[in-house]
Structure 1
Amino acid sequence: MTTAYQNLRTTFTRLSRFGHLSAIAGWDMQTMMPPQGGQARSEALAELSVLQHQILTATQVGQWLEQARQDRLNDLELANLREMQRAYDNAVLVPESLVEAKSLAGARCEHAWRIQRKANDWQGFAENLRDVVKLSRQEAQIRAEAAGTSRYDALLNLFEPGMNTAALDAIFGDLKQWLPNLLQQVVEKQKSEPCQLPQGPFDLEAQRKLSLSVMHLLGFNFDGGRVDVSVHPFCGGVPQDVRITTRYNEKEFTTALMGIVHETGHARYEQNLPREWLGQPVALARSTAIHESQSLLFEMQLARSETFLKILRPLVVAQFGDQPALSENNFIRLHQRVRPGLIRVDADEVSYPAHVMLRYEIEQALIEGDIEVDDIPALWNDKMQSYLGIDTTGNYRDGCMQDIHWTDGAFGYFPTYTLGAMYAAQLFQYANNAIPSLQDEISRGDLTALFQWLQQNIWQHGSRFTTDALITNATGETLNPRYFRQHLENRYL
């Protein structure tokens, strides 16, 4: 006779397989699908999300979860049961009709956004976004009442279990104390450090070849994944078949290059999650901030360091030929340039947290009902002026329409980028402490020791531990933003 826990394992394996199909269909929607396929694909994905919801919230799943507490389980099985319970609790609160409506509204908004953003069509975008916000507020209200929290905290918990706005406000409040001054100091310092921009055009096929060579260097497993082009770079798919994307621009290559490094960081985490537990919740990535910590460790801690840039430069020269702007000193300055700009995904690591805080403050007010969709552009402009000294009046495309996250109701996601940057700084510092020869090994192009340390401390554990326990096991302390500040001061001042 099967136990309650075994029945749960079977159910979650089934859910994982439907999730696999959904992930690949979503990837195709953003990369290969012809424009007229949008409506049919949206309906198919909504149907799939309803089916997954039905399976997960079935009465017998709740009964098995109760009964499984009596089963004799080891530590890993208990961790898996904890994550099953969390998934069930999150799903059972939300009615099926809302799951379907939210999926349809999100797919419609995201699909239209691709055309509307290019056309700077805020009015068209806002019409779709209102539906997404209305449904997200409904979900947030249901979750908040059950958890006894604010609406926004209830959504934040879906991306970052254990985090709340009180803790975030303390972290961001501290950032606001020192970051503007640091940003000003760095910009001032770099005025006396001239930096030449590489002269293009940069052939798109050469950029693609450069991407592949960098992914090889970073250990991407091409037998279990691929790279393609999309409007907004992302990492999707499943651990056995990871799909990453970037976007190329003939005028410059650095955005696509660092985008590839960033997404490869996500991909390496996915490809190294515990294989023997795939299909079970315990094998999923711990949280969104931990996922971002891996991409930002690759992009910011590793790839923008002088040590790594020295081994990256020859790969760039091999594709585009040499020129004065690609001399070693200039190449390093180019990738460590701090210049506040409009676009979050192109931002340097010093000004990036300002982009995140701006979005966090707006989406929190939006979900709590303090503002409406029509208030977003003016508020966005005010905060861009305040944090970065940049005017976005009338420029919706490079302002409040630039991100994909709000189109499908991912409210609560944005803060995890800066939390991820902080975790990345802390983890990289401890990796260097644990491996005294690490910088020498990186300078030789040998990243084995770094990857082994990440595998041992982060990747192999999936969701076995809570975020606090995972970070404490790896570094001896919970999140400490001091490492992030220290990193920025050391690199830029």
Structure 2
Amino acid sequence: MPSQTPLLPALDSLTKRFSRLSAMEDAQAFLHWDMAAVMPDGGAETRSNQIATLTGLHHDLLTAPEVADWIAAAEGEINTLGDHPDAPWLMANLREIKRTHAHATALPGDLVEALSRASNACERIWRKARPANDFASVREPLAALLSLVRQSAQAKSEALGVDLYDALLDEYEPGGSSARVDAIFGDLEAFLPGFLQEVLDRQGAEPALPQGPFPIDLQKELGRRAMETLGFDFNHGRLDVSAHPFCGGSPRDVRLTTRYDEADFTKALMGVIHETGHALYEQGLPEAWLDQPVGRARGMSVHESQSLLHEMQACRSAEFIAYATPVWKEVLGGSGPAWEVENFQRLYTRVNRGFIRVDADEVTYPAHVILRYRLEKDLIEGKMEVEHIPEAWNAAMERLLGVTPPTDTVGCLQDIHWYDGAWGYFPTYTLGAMTAAQLFDAARTQVPGLMESIGTGNFAPLLGWLRENIHRKGCLLTTDELLTQATGRPLEASVFERHLRRRYLGEG
């Protein structure tokens, strides 16, 4: 917290408490990363107990009676700041503290610990169930976890005065509502099927997939070079391997993971680029406020916008692919027609009705998210039970994408989120894709020669714009305020749809 802050006793006490809580959150994040990426199976139960204990201690510190007293007193103190330069940050910090405190005090400590233990236990079983195509083995642990999630949703719904699903969504998308999500997804569902068919009808011959095998060491080198190009600071982070790609850790030590396929280097590469977008956001958060809620990322739709802006908007552009193709050929030793720029451009803008969300193209990706959103909403509201997930999942895939998964491995077992306790998260992926399109559209308008710079592998202008308009703002602004300040308007589906028409149909 900046040293020039005036002496405000209650606010000072709050910030000191939240500085300790922030350190505990960072420790929990690293324990999760270690369990996912490098820890032997035999240590999982011990690690789960450690995380649950930390989670309980964190909850105790956050919900202690004095915190409520400090919040009440700080609301009076905040009005004395006048034109102090830190006033906007302190006011926003108090807003975020109140929101965090409201979520925490809605739940008893024993439920918080039980959720942590159940999430870790279910995730461990999922890691084996997924490759084995064995939903039955994880059904009961998932049902037990869902029961606790429903209890949490009910308690938060009553405390916050919102619907069950919205109580969980607010954890990931502050101020978000299922009513708004339903409206946006309804518009997309009306637009996408006809557009998808139009794109499929317009596509030419299937692009050639470069033939492997591609040794993992070379793919790691390729990923590292991509991260350096985008601006990742390896003095404050690293890349590892896990069953599901993710970005975690803390802003000063960001940890990325990916998974490799020796037959297809393109999957891991775009996965690394995606996670690097998340990492760049974390590394760019406001240094002076990192140990306070106001210094953290502004919700998951904004976070996801940073990964998709890099993966989908910038790094699937014709300019970037023209720059990157010689690098890929050099590192992997490729040659022949499959390694030509035009082939990669077709490959990275190819649209297919596929099973896997993380491998999906921009056109079909929203359907994957709409499917998950509707299923988890029904599950949370008790309209569906865990044993019906595979059947409901496959039926929704057929309805939304015209394909039926042959196994649960590529169906309802593919994502970690539900098995790890992250319920209410999925809508932020498509909200993030729309936000990414709107931000990138604004950056192209505001930064002269942006695409030319990307075409030479120079991402500094793009990163500089993101630092100024998104990263360094932390939680100073609400999501709508942040996007309006950066782009001139709140989130609009029309910008995303216009981007899709321009890229896939050549319109505009």
TM range (shorter): over 0.9
| Alpha-carbon distance, 1:147 to partner | 2.4
Query: Once superposed, what is the RMSD of the aligned Cα atoms?
Result: 1.0
Give the Cα separation in 2 of the matches to 1:147 and 1:447.
42
Find the partner of 1:469 among 481, 487, 492: 481
Identify the residue that residue 357 of structure 1 maps to in structure 2.
370
The yes-or-no answer on 1:28 pairing with 2:41 is no
TM-score (norm 2): 0.95
The yes-or-no answer on 1:84 pairing with 2:84 is no
Identify the residue that residue 155 of structure 1 maps to in structure 2.
168
In terms of mean alpha carbon deviation, does 417-426 or 333-342 score higher? 333-342
Provide Cα deviations, 1:159-194, integer angstroms capped at 9, x if missing partner.
Answer: 11111111111101100111011111111211x234
Identify the residue that residue 415 of structure 2 maps to in structure 1.
403
Find the partner of 1:141 among 142, 146, 154: 154
| Alpha-carbon distance, 1:476 to partner | 1.0
Task: Name the SS of the counterpart of 1:69 in structure 2.
Answer: helix
Task: Name the SS of the counterpart of 1:237 in structure 2.
Answer: strand
Give the Cα separation in 2 of the matches to 1:228 and 1:341.
26
TM-score (norm 1): 0.98
In structure 2, stretches of 5+ residues that fail to align are 1-6, 82-86
Residue 186 of structure 1 aligns with an amino acid whose one-letter code is V
Give the Cα separation in 1 of the matches to 2:422 and 2:206.
40
| Alpha-carbon distance, 1:2 to partner | 6.5
Task: Name the SS of the counterpart of 1:70 in structure 2.
Answer: helix
The yes-or-no answer on 1:7 pairing with 2:20 is no
Give the Cα separation in 2 of the matches to 1:70 and 1:52.
26
Find the partner of 1:341 among 344, 354, 364: 354
Aligned length: 491
> How is 1:31-430 mapped onto 2 (pairs within 5 angstroms)?
31-71=37-77, 72-73=80-81, 74-190=87-203, 192-321=204-333, 322-392=335-405, 395-430=407-442
Residue 302 of structure 1 aligns with an amino acid whose one-letter code is A
Residue 301 of structure 1 aligns with an amino acid whose one-letter code is Q
Give the Cα separation in 1 of the matches to 2:146 and 2:405.
23
Task: Name the SS of the counterpart of 2:133 in structure 1.
Answer: coil
Is the Cα contact below 8 Å between 2:102 and 2:159 reproduced in 1? no
Give the Cα separation in 2 of the matches to 1:370 and 1:93.
24
Identify the residue that residue 3 of structure 2 maps to in structure 1.
none
In structure 1, stretches of 5+ residues that fail to align are none
Give the Cα separation in 2 of the matches to 1:277 and 1:432.
29
Identify the residue that residue 486 of structure 1 maps to in structure 2.
498
Residue 68 of structure 1 aligns with an amino acid whose one-letter code is A
Give the Cα separation in 2 of the matches to 1:115 and 1:310.
40
Task: Name the SS of the counterpart of 1:243 in structure 2.
Answer: strand
Provide Cα deviations, 1:72-92, integer angstroms capped at 9, x if missing partner.
Answer: 341111111111111111101
| Alpha-carbon distance, 1:310 to partner | 0.9
> How is 1:452-463 mapped onto 2 (pairs within 5 angstroms)?
452-463=464-475
In terms of mean alpha carbon deviation, does 353-362 or 116-125 score higher? 116-125
Task: Name the SS of the counterpart of 1:250 in structure 2.
Answer: coil
Give the Cα separation in 2 of the matches to 1:325 and 1:163.
44
Task: Name the SS of the counterpart of 1:244 in structure 2.
Answer: strand
